[in-house]
Structure 1
Amino acid sequence: MPHLTELTWREARTAGADAIALMPIGSQEQHGAHLPMGTDTLLVTAVVDRAAELLAGDGPPVVRLPALPYGHSPHHLFAAAVSLSASTLAAVLADVLRSLTESGFCRIMIVNGHGGNDEIMRLAVKEHALRAEGAFAACSYWSLGEAPENPGHAGRYETSLMLAAHPDLVRTPIEPHTPAGAPPLFAAPPHPGLTAERHGEWARVGGMTDDPSAARPDPGGLTIRATELARAIRAFAEATAPGAI
């Protein structure tokens, strides 16, 4: 898989006419006492790279951009984070999408690894399609397929994936964690389809949604997410191929 960083400008121009530009975005934010600040960036990069491996040979051509390591994480600043405001992240994504389009890329997909980026990323893609020629897509890596995952935050799911992708960065032993009080509204909304938040709840539950202590290395989970992403890339490529409209 070509990396944009390693291409010359002529190679990038040539690639843009046919290849799909893949842009991972993540965050730098607290992930409990056992996971690193860059967990979201590390996991989305691992999923994107594995998906590209699955596409190698008979899949559509792709070019991977460097991962954007900062996201919208103000809800984690009670502990530690490097956060962009919603408007700044939207502006950064708009600039990157515009730059890629003007540099010759006709198809671009943003792949997200942090929940706080999701709505902003999707809106950026929709708005760019109103201004520029081409086809643009966005997804969060856990949201694809018939059985999408709920990754939670710094709990069993993310810890299991990190134990598979970057075991050297997981601090052990992993202490059990049981948030005090009622489940927070952001994790357990009172009605299906409702988004609800209560002030101070991220800090009240320690920034974690569930207990990570039962996590085990889950390379199969990474493969499932990568496989779904590869399928999504194929479908996007087929739907946007010349003559598909």
Structure 2
Amino acid sequence: MFSRYEGTAWEARFLPRLSSREIAELPKEKALVILSIGAVEQHGPHLPVMTDALIGEALLTRTMEKLNADLPIWLLPPLAYGKSNEHTGFAGTISLSSSTLQHVILDIAHSLRLSGFHKLLLLNSHGGNVDLLNLVSREIRIATGMTVFYIMPHQLDSFEDILAEEEREFGIHGGDYETSLLKAIKPHWVSDAYAVKEIPDMQKYRYLTLEGKVRFAWKTADISASGVMGDATSATADKGTLFMERITDQLAQALVELCDFDIAQLNSFRTPKELHSQ
């Protein structure tokens, strides 16, 4: 079971735990700073509104336990609130505007750069943040020169052997995946009696999808009465544990790669003078 602010992640890798002097003295050439960004929003009648933010924190906590102690990876306090206005009208949803969230992330990045850091990972656990984080990542790169990465951890694995095809396509909110994770992370926060299955009726469309191919703008109330998109009734703690272990295994490997990555090495262009000297 997940306990907040305990264990390796928060004792050995929590950047604000250090003093200003200690942070100034850190080696920063390969140091990777991680900002987890989630959401506080409705997740159907059975899950807490903290679901997305909690999943991001729990995944990072477990991942840090799988890393070598000498890797220069540091965690910032998670940003719980995200852009969640698609869930407006459902009680408990607290949303930042896109401009507010963008400026908060930009300000955090600028502050990190002033402290000497060069690499930032935006770890996102809420689908409604995706488009904005794609945009803001490049804005940070242009404004600060930092190398910026962004990731949704569940995309590291397809889970084809665990989730039904319908669930992989349409189970994007409060369904089997998220409910299973919450059963593994904080089981007493899940109200099993209220779990539902609600799948948007998209089967007749060849091109239109919720998150791929040809997309259309929607708010949750357009496509779900319960606030759920997926099958929460199929969720189990065992599946949640499996999701957690498989994602964090791959995320741990990915973080090693990010620490070693040097964006300057991608540009193989050589000037005419350099080519002539070969």
The partner residue of 2:35 within 23, 28, 48 is: 23
Deviation of the 1:79 alpha carbon: 0.5
Q: Which moved more, 1:227-236 or 1:104-113?
A: 227-236
Counterpart CA distance in 2 for 1:191 and 1:237 is: 30
User: How do 1:94-243 residues align onto structure 2 when only pairs under 5 Å count?
Assistant: 94-144=106-156, 152-178=172-198, 182-183=201-202, 189=209, 193-198=213-218, 201-202=221-222, 204-217=224-237, 218-240=240-262
Deviations 1:93-114 (A, max 9, x none): 1111111111121111110010
> Counterpart of 1:68?
79
CA 1:38–1:146 in 2, change beyond 3 Å: closer, same or farther?
Answer: closer
Q: Which moved more, 1:122-131 or 1:195-204?
A: 195-204
Q: Which moved more, 1:220-229 or 1:11-20?
A: 11-20
Q: Which moved more, 1:139-148 or 1:157-166?
A: 139-148
Q: Does 1:84 align with 2:91?
A: no
Counterpart CA distance in 2 for 1:204 and 1:234 is: 40
Q: TM-score, normalised by structure 2?
A: 0.77
Whose helix fraction is larger, Structure 1's or Structure 2's? 2
Deviations 1:153-212 (A, max 9, x none): 011110001111111211232433335x72499xx6189521213466446432211120
Tell me which structure has the larger Cα radius of gyration: 2
CA 1:192–1:152 in 2, change beyond 3 Å: closer, same or farther?
Answer: closer
**Aligned partners of 2:98 and 2:132 also within 8 Å:** yes
**Aligned partners of 1:109 and 1:137 also within 8 Å:** yes
Give unmatched runs, 5+ long, in structure 2. 1-11, 161-167, 268-278
- Identity, % of aligned pairs? 28
Counterpart CA distance in 1 for 2:65 and 2:150 is: 20
**Aligned partners of 1:174 and 1:212 also within 8 Å:** no
**Aligned partners of 1:31 and 1:208 also within 8 Å:** yes
Q: Does 1:13 align with 2:24?
A: yes
Deviation of the 1:144 alpha carbon: 2.5
Deviation of the 1:133 alpha carbon: 3.0
**Aligned partners of 2:86 and 2:218 also within 8 Å:** no
> Counterpart of 2:163?
none
- 2:191 maps to amino acid: R
Counterpart CA distance in 2 for 1:159 and 1:90 is: 29
Counterpart CA distance in 2 for 1:64 and 1:173 is: 36
Deviations 1:17-56 (A, max 9, x none): 1421111010100011111111000001111121111113
Deviation of the 1:147 alpha carbon: 6.4
- 1:236 maps to amino acid: L
Counterpart CA distance in 2 for 1:234 and 1:194 is: 34
Deviations 1:68-124 (A, max 9, x none): 010000011110311011111111111111111111211111100100111211221
Counterpart CA distance in 2 for 1:202 and 1:41 is: 24
Counterpart CA distance in 2 for 1:39 and 1:236 is: 27
**Aligned partners of 1:238 and 1:244 also within 8 Å:** no
**Aligned partners of 2:47 and 2:179 also within 8 Å:** yes
Counterpart CA distance in 2 for 1:87 and 1:213 is: 36
- Please state whether the residue corresponding to 1:104 is helix, strand or coil: coil
Q: TM-score, normalised by structure 1?
A: 0.87
CA 1:145–1:237 in 2, change beyond 3 Å: closer, same or farther?
Answer: farther
